[in-house]
Structure 1
């Protein structure tokens, strides 16, 4: 297994992963999101891939990060905006590898903190992030507009 940057051509492999995360998406939806973020230096996405036997690779995980400069700090923060590993590949280290890649990217970009939001019902994800050194510092509120 290795980590590489996600590309627009990966949209068909990313869409089912986003569905497993609870965000049903088509390949066209994902391709449009890539197009919207094209050229952004503050948004990046990665794939965890498992090399196949005949030069094919299986996408087993997806992660995305966003860098932003809040008014209250003099340095950027990095947010892990998406992280999902295929149900059949959970526990293989793919999630940890994606988070490590995100943190390395954030550090290289000068971020002083890394954040991630996780739905209240995702207790397994909470334990995963805590094992990686993340701690709950606040509650996040959301309102549909």
Structure 2
């Protein structure tokens, strides 16, 4: 399992943003990242200044959304869906996206479920409960 540092993540996202803006060819993962970046124009200024992004690690505001975490979660959910891991997540995300008629909005709801699963896992000191995670996503897909 790859566990990049915060610095690695920030360099990667800023690098992809710069590469996409310059029109340079992107590999498959960079293309996916670039698509999620395009969905978040409010992050473009942050992504355009690597030095500020790196400095921001030291002065993070807990009341402000972290664009790197947010984009990483979009990427995680995309990857989970593409390989259907945990089993059933692809269908649950697709159902929620169809219900909302918006994949981006569905991802934001799935992020809440993913964050809850990780928080509960860390708090209890046990492995993440993929079944509970999927069930939370399914519940969102069946309610208004």
TM-score of the superposed pair, with normalisation by structure 2? 0.32
TM-score of the superposed pair, with normalisation by structure 1? 0.32
Give the structure with the higher percent helix.
2
**Higher gyration radius (CA):** 2
Give the structure with the higher percent strand.
1
